[in-house]
Amino acid sequence: MTLADERRDDAAEAEVLPVGADPASVDGGAGPRRPGPAHTALRERWFACSNALGWSVASEWPDPTVDEVCEVVLSGRVGPPLERAMTRWAGARAAAGIGLDETLSDLAALHTAVSGALGALGERRRLGLPGAEGSRLVRVVSLGWTDVACGDLSEAAAVDPLSGLASARYLRTRLAEVYRSARAHGTSVGDAYALVVVTLQVAGWSRVAPLTVAGDAAAVVFDAGETIAVVGRSTVVVLAPRDGLAARVRVLRGMLARRLAGASGVTGSPSARIAPLPATLDGVADTLARLREAEPAVPRRDRILGFDVPVIAPEGDGAEPAD
């Protein structure tokens, strides 16, 4: 069975747009444009190779991130653009319940599809998996898969399993209690509370120790029952009363600078800032999502190589002052 056969069997499946395409701007707004022949050829070849390597359920293979990876490969973009695409692809596999073993087999299928691709794919593009180049690519995919798979576990728990601090799930529960209390008393949460956001620049598994140190420092400064939680991979958040908050944040900054100076895994200076809370509980999820998205990028120790194309450079929350 080919991917084309699989898609013909599913008459309700929508057309796939190229990455970044706007449906309203394609074909004069008349509807989505079909992928180009090179895109289709690579996707079909990748699917066929994945089947040959033992992909278990054909209907689970298609995903928008597959098309994103194909677009990046065909455009010749490597380095950060390729890493981001592969990370999102691996995360989508984890979110769909596909195991790491099968995800890595699918990566090997992509390698096979690209390495032997001529004809409709145009100029040969080589995706090298052997040696250091392959190790880097396998690492990126493995971390992308693990972040989603392990993130699901941590989100379901009250305590973050790595740092021992409260989880984002518990923080949302605590915030819901605060908003219900404010509504019952006719007050505004934003007038009484704020978030203290501690952001660390850390890398890899070595981020665990700095997160724990930051949490311990926050617990010294905020020792009156405030909620201290981990949000994302390198952000500690404190739900704290606004009274005297600016002075406490200044103390926290000094403590973080002393305790994390020269710490293993820390690649930059930690920051602590005050972030306002939204007017209603409905905005809390967006606020926490913005904090995760604002985290510093993971430092890259090398580049993904292996394509016979030039490297393209990476494309170029309302915090309050603590004073």
- Taking only the tens place, the pLDDT of each residue in 88-112 is 999 999 888 899 989 999 998 888 8
Question: Is pTM beyond 0.85 here?
Answer: no
Percent of the chain, pLDDT > 90?
33
pLDDT at 249 over 80: yes
Instruction: Please state the length of the chain.
Output: 323
283: tokens are 């905005």
Confidence of residue 315 (pLDDT cuts 50, 70, 90): very low
The answer to whether residues 312 and 73 touch, using CB atoms and an 8 Å cutoff, is no
Quickly count: other Cβ atoms within 10 Å of residue 154's Cβ.
16
Calculate the CA 305 to chain-centre distance.
22
Q: How is domain 168-293 classified at the architecture level of CATH?
A: 2-Layer Sandwich (3.30)
Q: How confident is the model at residue 250 (pLDDT cuts 50, 70, 90)?
A: very high
Please, what is the average pLDDT of the chain?
Answer: 76
Do residues 203 and 299 lie in contact, with contact meaning Cβ atoms separated by under 8 Å?
yes
86, containing H or E segment:
helix 80-95
Instruction: Quote the pLDDT of residue 306.
Output: 39
Q: What are the boundaries of each domain within the chain?
A: 3-155, 168-293
